[in-house]
Chain A
Amino acid sequence: MRITINKLTVQYTEEDHSLLALDRVDLTLAPGRITALVGESGSGKTTLGKAIMGLLPDNATVQGEILLDQDNLLDFDEARMNPVRWGTVAMVFQNGAANLNPVHRLKHQVAEPLIQRGTPKKEALALAETRLTAMGLAPELANRYPHELSGGQVQRGLLAMGLILDPPVLILDEPTAALDAVTKSFVARVIQDCRAQNRSVLLITHDLDLAGALADEIAVLYLGQVMEYLPGRHLMERPAHPYTLALARAFPTMDAVRDLGGIRGDAFYRMVHAHAAENGAAHVHTHVAAPDAYHEGGHAPPEGCLFKPRCTQAVPACALGQVEMEITPDGDHRVRCIRGGIAKILEFEQVAKSYGPVTALHPTNLTLMAGEVFCLVGETGSGKTTLAMIAAGALSPDQGTRTLQGRDMDGWMKKDPASLASCIGIIYQNPAESVSHRLTVFEIVAEPLRIHNTVTDEAALKDRVCAALSDVRLSTSPEFLKRYPHELNMGAIQRVCLARALVHEPDLLIADEPTSALDPSVQAKVLKMLLNLQIEKGLTLLFVTHNIGLARKVADRIGVMQGGRIIESGPAARIIHHPDHDYTRTLIRSARGVNPSRPAVSSPQ
């Protein structure tokens, strides 16, 4: 049986305000397909499951329709709904044992729906026992009380209970939360079996690994709105919405090589308020229950994109109008984003550069998406720095076009080189050389602002500089501001450089071997900070390094360069675990310090 959800809106009314749990959600559960619903806590995932089951509390107001084949479940009264529940649509609730009655044995609770529907008790109990055995619970376990069972055993019991009536539609709410890996893979197998048995499965989870592996389609929910629909296999590798990317980046998997990154800011739920506005009239508006820096006064954007305050690629236009679902150019995804999903920050098309007879860079294509970290890896002389400096606008290519934020860089540079430069921040290999020894810390960090005349007022300038310095965890005391570079250690200078690169909030940050002059412990600190900043500020980072081991910890995507060409590029996990090119394999092997041709060799410097 098929369930079609159209424009489902759910509001929970509480005294003087209401919570907007779901906002015009469309979703289809089709037989033989697994649909996954992912999103942070409070995004409305469970509300959707409960809405299908008709289990919403009394204070919920529901609009839209939930069609079970042709019939709208929302029109059903309790009498009509009861046979649908469990018989047609079953749900495996979250929180394990809390759903079970502590004074009844597990077997009895599993058999209960059968008994209620008139199956003789003995037969029902026998079937329940068979089902529980199939779920890997031995008969003596089936006879226990819920509190005598482990979390994994309870989950198996709940699955058996959900499937006891062979419902055509199964809703699983966080079936793998708090489970160990072995039980988790068992649950995954059960879910796959459900697909094989032609059931329509709705998998509500924040386990992206599970969703990505099992689901045919994934809906990504944010504050009650679906942000993206995408095929499951694309979740980790090719998300199209910035929110999906951020979720994927925050999730630990065995494959992920980059360190985890959170999503900036917090959001819990939306409240619809009606209170007097300034002009005295009652005025309905939406709140986001997370009064933090990203939501001014706890107010959700009155219109425009809900995710905008936390989005890393937001533009002013994001705050305007309704954002509708759009199909991405490749046709596989639907995203709610006026920029058509994750934007391209930098695009190279056939860009090449030679110095006389030496070709430093063969014609190269490269695309950097907003908010990603792209690592260029390769040995010295492979053209990494040339490529990075062309991207930075510090070098001009001999041929090809380069586009930054959709604008042709060469034309831009001719017209207004300063504004182009203000979109790009650069960190250099040698921090001590890249700052003037005559300038104090304050003057160094203030320099870009002075060049671009962004801040004219000296007090505001000081605020910006101090903000940038505290971003990089440096002191903002007057004494420190008056320090000269030679009074600081390398790590501190590089952080000053980072503050300088970030002070005018560039879209693209280019880091050319930013940590190669630092010792490992300082390098680790600086990198951690850089990645945190990358997430907080939503920076797109082009990171150049010769050290693939380092790239592995930093990159979302890696491009391997050799002899002026990018010979291989792709998601970091794939490049590290399944490199296509021999040279990449050599790089990885030498980084591991094991080179088959020579017994022991250190990584190339």
Chain B
Amino acid sequence: MHLDARRRILTDPWFLTGAALLGLLVCLAVFGPVLMPWDPHDTSFTPLDPPSARHWLGINDGGMDIFAELLSGLRNTLIFGVTAATAGLVLGAVTGLFAAWKGGWTDQVLMRLADIVLAVPSVMILILLAAFLRPPPWVLALTLAALTWPTTARGIRAQALTLKHRLHIQAARHMGGSARYIIFRHLMPELFPLYLINFAAKLRMAVFMEASLAFLGLFDPSQKSLGLMISFALKYYYMDIWINWLIPPVLLLSFLIMGTTFVTISLERVFDPRLKTAL
């Protein structure tokens, strides 16, 4: 069962491709800026220099090294995505579990709240918030989480409800296990695959959202991010420089989204009971 799942995951080409992409990008984001000799905020180079041996991707219009900027942007984008995904997952999982466990009135209230939040267009809220309040990125990430938890909450609640009535969980209750014990020892670990799926899905969405907001110019321009780079580079699309300036961030962003998508698809195929065909 779960061992089978592990084996199936580890032999799934979708998962392997996605995980390889993600792994590579995460390594770049973590170690790249450390190994990079140039500071991405250093403006002392000749603006719009083409790629050379010293500056692999050349220099942008502000006199900064594009490669350094790229690595730093990747890191910030990933931090944004992971923050939003983690916060959304925790919020959703806790709400879903709590609603499923308590049932009745609590369940009703929480699920109606989830419906309401789902009806709110999150892109619009974020655009308005970013445009008018200019908050730091982590506030935006948390806001995104606050708008995306209901999908997770619903999925987790549904699964927890069926789990709650499974015999082995009932058996643990008959043994005298407290609510705390059963939730922490049985329900939460049992739902582990769902966390993975939801995390990957939310990461993909958050990364995409960050790029969009930055592209729209709604991000603090002094920050480094893949979206901002695309947005700035587009101003010089008529020059040759777009090859070394525009394409790299677009590619990285695409790989990031592709990687998470592949992993999500693979995880869902193996774990999500709704997609599971007769085994």
Contact = CB atoms under 8 A, between A and B. Distances in A.
A437 B167 CA distance: 11
B174 interface: yes
A428 B178 contact: no
A505 interface: no
A434 B1 contact: no
A430 B167 contact: yes
A434 B167 contact: yes
A426 B167 contact: no
Contacts of A417: 176
Interface in B137-174: 166-174
Given A435-B168, A436-B168, A392 B174 contact: yes
A452 interface: yes
B176 A438 contact: no
A447 B172 CA distance: 8
A302 to B, nearest CB: 36
Interface string A44-83: 0000000000000000000000000000000000000000
Contact of B167 (A393, A419, A433, A448): A433
Contact of B170 (A394, A419, A422, A448): A394
Contacts of B175: 421-422, 447-448, 451-452
Interface in A428-484: 428, 430, 433-438, 447-448, 451-452, 484
B189 interface: yes
Contacts of A392: 174
Contacts of A435: 168, 171
A451 B168 contact: no
A421 B174 contact: yes
Contacts, number: 57
Interface in B45-91: none
A563 B152 CA distance: 45
A239 to B, nearest CB: 32
A320 interface: no
A550 interface: no
B177 to A, nearest CB: 5
Contacts of A436: 168-169, 172, 186, 190
B80 to A, nearest CB: 33
B3 interface: yes
A479 to B, nearest CB: 15
A33 B234 CA distance: 117
A437 B2 contact: yes
A426 B168 contact: no
B31 interface: no
Given A436-B186, A437-B1, A451 B167 contact: no
B268 to A, nearest CB: 20
B237 interface: no
Contacts of A581: none
A418 B171 contact: no
A533 interface: no
Given A428-B171, A430-B167, A438 B190 contact: yes
A420 interface: yes
Nearest to A421: B176
Interface string A398-436: 000000000000000000011111101010101001111
A484 B7 CA distance: 15
B191 to A, nearest CB: 11
Interface residues of B, number: 20
Chain A contact-residue range equals 20 to 34
A486 interface: yes
Given A433-B167, A435-B168, A484 B3 contact: yes
A422 B3 contact: no
Contacts of A394: 170, 173-174
Contacts of B3: 484, 486
A49 B105 CA distance: 76
Contacts of A433: 166-168
Contacts of B190: 436, 438
B176 A420 contact: yes
Contacts of B169: 436
Contacts of B167: 428, 430, 433-434
B60 to A, nearest CB: 52
A435 B173 CA distance: 12
B181 A451 contact: yes
Contact of A418 (B2, B168, B178): B178
A451 B176 contact: yes
Nearest to A420: B176
B8 to A, nearest CB: 14
A7 B186 CA distance: 62
Contacts of B173: 394
A394 B165 CA distance: 13
Interface in A301-351: none
Nearest to B181: A451
A38 B174 CA distance: 43
Interface in B172-210: 172-178, 181, 186, 189-190
Contacts of B186: 436
A447 B181 CA distance: 11
Nearest to B173: A394
A417 B167 CA distance: 19
A438 B174 contact: no
Nearest to B169: A436
Contacts of A421: 174-176
Contact of B2 (A420, A438, A451): A438
B137 to A, nearest CB: 37
A435 B169 CA distance: 8
Nearest to A425: B175
B19 to A, nearest CB: 23
Contact of A393 (B166, B170, B174, B178): B174
B189 A426 contact: no
B172 A426 contact: no
Contacts of B1: 437, 484, 486
Rank and list the top 4 A-B pairs by shortest CB-CB distance, nearest first. Answer: A421-B176, A418-B176, A433-B167, A437-B1
Given A426-B174, A438-B2, 9 more contacts: A417-B176, A418-B176, A419-B176, A420-B176, A421-B176, A422-B176, A428-B167, A434-B167, A436-B190
12 contacts: A393-B174, A394-B173, A418-B178, A421-B176, A426-B171, A437-B168, A438-B2, A451-B172, A451-B178, A452-B176, A486-B1, A486-B3
Interface of B: 1-3, 166-178, 181, 186, 189-190
Interface of A: 392-394, 417-422, 424, 426, 428, 430, 433-438, 447-448, 451-452, 484, 486
